[in-house]
Amino acid sequence: MRRKVVTIVCAVLAVICLASGGMHLSCSQGRGEIRVKGVFIEGQSGGDAETLNWILAADATSFSYVGHTLDSLAVYDNNFNIQLRCLAKDIEVSPDGLVYTITIRDDLRWSDGSPVTAEDYVYTLKNLMFSDWLNYPYKGDWQEEVNGEKVFVTPEVVNQTTFTITRKTVYPEFIYTLYDLTPYPKYIAQKYEGDAKAFTQAPEFNNLSYTGNLGPYRFKEWNRNDRFVVERNPDYYLGKDVGAPYFEQYIIKLFGTSATRQAALEAGDITYSAIEPEQVAKFKGLPDIKVYTVPTRGYTILAYNQRANGWERLRHKEVRQALSMAISKHAIAQNILLGFAEPAFSFIPKVSPWYTEEGVMKYGVDELHDKQKAAEILYQLGYGIKQADGTIKVTDKDGKLLQLVLVVNVGSKPAEDMAFFIRKELLSLGIETEIKLVPWPTLLRQYVMNAVPGSKQEPAYNNGPDAVSQEKWDLILMGFGTDPLAPSGSHVFFASDGGLNFMGYSNPQVDELFARARSKEALDKEARKKIYAELSRLLSEEQPVNFLAFHRANYGFRKNVMGIEPGVNMGYNYHLWYFE
């Protein structure tokens, strides 16, 4: 649930409490010397959370706030090793891949002292998340298609600390959805059952007053658009042996701009903040700040419109390959993204255990960054003229200037810079590109969402192959993200019926591979690896989008913060951080 939201919203540092099992060297050495002290202030910009009643939330910020007070079943460290949280042991999967057995710890307690039981988890699923009266938006995560119908998975209590979830169809990556699960207390939720309004306004759920020892912190205060404050939970189930967490309070302070947020870090008014790429060098030079650069799961793409209202040749992969060949990814990564990115060639990030470069076509770098070759390809397809000096100028079929429309979200300087760079690269082929800088909601509504002309369809992100967007476009620059552990989630972008396949890309082979990645065959990890390798190869060759760059993020901490392990899941052990 929470991970799915983060997949969509690129590069969000989900500060989710993790407890180590005390296995880190820094924990075992001198752990008893660490004193609880200080207030850790995290600076954030980009909007406040919507609600602490997480079952109603749509934004990643809400989940991240709640995550300070409520652990999920498990999380991952920077190497994607499982770190158990509320689980007593890892989830057991039956050999046929249909039954998941979940055993939770027996020392979890709600705020009233009563134990957290399997019944709470099953109740949360069956009576809340699957219910019609609450209309949990993401109940689809818990549904499967059986004989053309959508049915819910079946949770069942086995005993006080064990429950099962039974599926009718195999989906090997369903386990990652399970790891994210957090419960509501049945004894409180029952009071509001059936009454959506009362549940929405329930003070216990809006003030997180039930969380007990389930998180390293307890809710203290939330001043909208200002600060979210949690205080140390001395009863934290994972912290009691080592005395964690080590901050008296953890505060998320909201800033309206990245400039003021970074100024606060520099001045010492906050403890930690993300740092914009152009500020990294400056912060690295400051004596009181340490800067970490970490990989993310986000990447930027240049989408090619393969629907009827784009340049019709974009439906041909050779044309897409030629355009991708003309754009230098090294230049984007080094010059525009200031070195805090690396060229991308497919949809799986380098940090993913499923990543491979074998067979992947690397358009935009080395020998596949060749403008002459790109022009030659387009010329051979009838889109160009040979000039007197022998060079090729790309034109439309009638020999006239070829003009494309590139749409990008206004307000992001790197995105705007990338757009202008791409225009320059395409101009060297003779292609004129009109750049449209539009606000994000406009980009979504007028360019991304589509409907069949003349129909009564409500616009959606993929209304079928005949649907077109309200406005014409050829190229869109935007950010995507891939779950490193469950890349099959990216079928939404590249499968023919993918919910976010706004480009209108369709390839039965790709559809089949994604289906296999989500089938029984993929229970075997070696088989899954091969499927992903083939998907990476095929998509790199097909170029439904030009995979431009995988991003790296930069974070600054005050120098006295210890225990940080930089990586893609950097916050996983944040309950063990401390002030020197």
Partner 1 sequence: MRKSWLRDYIIKRLLYSIVIAWGILTITFILVRVGPSSPADKYLANLAAKGHDPAQVIAAIEARYGLDKPILQQYGEYMLNLLQGNWGWSLSTSMPVMELIKRHWIYSFQLILLSSLFAAVLGILIGIYSAVRQYTKTDYAFTFLSFIGISIPNFWLGVMLILIFSVKLGIFKTYYDTTLPLFSLANLKALVLPVITLGTGMLAAYVRYTRSAMLENLRKPFVVTARAKGLPEHVVIGKHVFRNALLPLVTIIMFDLGSIVFGGAYLTEIVFGIPGLGQVSFNAIFANDYPVVVAITLIGTLVVLLVNLTTDIIYTYLDPRIRYD
Could you list the residues that contact partner 1 (CB under 8 A)? 4-5, 7-8, 47-48, 50-53, 56, 58-59, 134-135, 137-138, 140-141, 196-197, 200-201, 206, 223-227, 253-257, 259-260, 263-264, 266-267, 269, 441, 444-445, 458, 460-462, 489, 491-492, 497-500
- Residue nearer to partner 1 on the CB measure, 81 or 257: 257
Smallest separation, CB 206 to partner 1 (Å): 6
For residues 75 and 485, is the Cβ–Cβ distance under 8 A? no
Smallest separation, CB 392 to partner 1 (Å): 40
- Residue nearer to partner 1 on the CB measure, 151 or 500: 500
- Residue nearer to partner 1 on the CB measure, 21 or 47: 47
Asked, as a colleague might, if the bond just before 459 is cis with ω within 30 of 0, I would say no
Distance CA 242, CA 7 (A): 32
Distance CA 309, CA 322 (A): 20
Distance CA 437, CA 425 (A): 18
SS3 at position 210: coil
Q: Say if residue 526 is exposed, middle or buried (CB neighbours under 10 Å; 0-12, 13-18, 19+).
A: exposed
User: Which residues share a beta bridge with 41?
Assistant: 251
Smallest separation, CB 491 to partner 1 (Å): 8
- Residue nearer to partner 1 on the CB measure, 159 or 223: 223
- Residue nearer to partner 1 on the CB measure, 465 or 567: 465
Smallest separation, CB 562 to partner 1 (Å): 24
- Residue nearer to partner 1 on the CB measure, 259 or 401: 259
Smallest separation, CB 523 to partner 1 (Å): 21
- Residue nearer to partner 1 on the CB measure, 226 or 466: 226
Structure-token pair, residue 393: 């100028």
- Residue nearer to partner 1 on the CB measure, 23 or 267: 267
Q: Which pairing describes strands 402-409 and 475-481: parallel, antiparallel, or unpaired?
A: parallel
- Residue nearer to partner 1 on the CB measure, 22 or 499: 499
How far the first Cα of the chain sits from its last, in Å, is: 35
Structure-token pair, residue 111: 């705020």
Residue with tokens 């990556």: 173
Smallest separation, CB 36 to partner 1 (Å): 21
Smallest separation, CB 441 to partner 1 (Å): 8
Structure-token pair, residue 473: 């476009």
CA proximity to 493, closest of 359, 213, 303, 237 = 303
- Residue nearer to partner 1 on the CB measure, 487 or 563: 487
Smallest separation, CB 387 to partner 1 (Å): 45
CA proximity to 93, closest of 80, 82, 79 = 82
Q: Which pairing describes strands 154-159 and 92-93: parallel, antiparallel, or unpaired?
A: unpaired
Helix (H) or strand (E) holding 392: strand 392-393
User: Measured on CA atoms in the order 54, 56, 60, 65, is the torsion positive or negative?
Assistant: negative
Backbone angles phi, psi at 450, to 5 degrees: -145, 165
Smallest separation, CB 262 to partner 1 (Å): 9
Smallest separation, CB 528 to partner 1 (Å): 20
Exposure string of 460-484, with b = 16+ CB inside 10 Å and e = fewer, is ebbbeeebbbebbbbbbbbbbbbbb
**Per residue, what are the HEC states of 67-132?**
CCCCCCCEEECCCCCEEECCECCCCEECCCCCEEEEEECCCCECCCCCECCHHHHHHHHHHHHCCC
Q: What is the number of H-type helices and E-type strands within the chain?
A: 18, 25
- Residue nearer to partner 1 on the CB measure, 5 or 392: 5
Structure-token pair, residue 73: 């079943």
- Residue nearer to partner 1 on the CB measure, 51 or 101: 51
Smallest separation, CB 193 to partner 1 (Å): 14
Structure-token pair, residue 503: 């480009």
User: Which residues share a beta bridge with 298?
Assistant: 481
Structure-token pair, residue 560: 């006295």
Smallest separation, CB 498 to partner 1 (Å): 7
Q: Number of C-alpha atoms within 13 angstroms, CB side, residue 138?
A: 16
Distance CA 570, CA 42 (A): 14
Smallest separation, CB 201 to partner 1 (Å): 6
Smallest separation, CB 440 to partner 1 (Å): 10
For residues 346 and 547, is the Cβ–Cβ distance under 8 A? yes
- Residue nearer to partner 1 on the CB measure, 48 or 342: 48
- Residue nearer to partner 1 on the CB measure, 162 or 258: 258
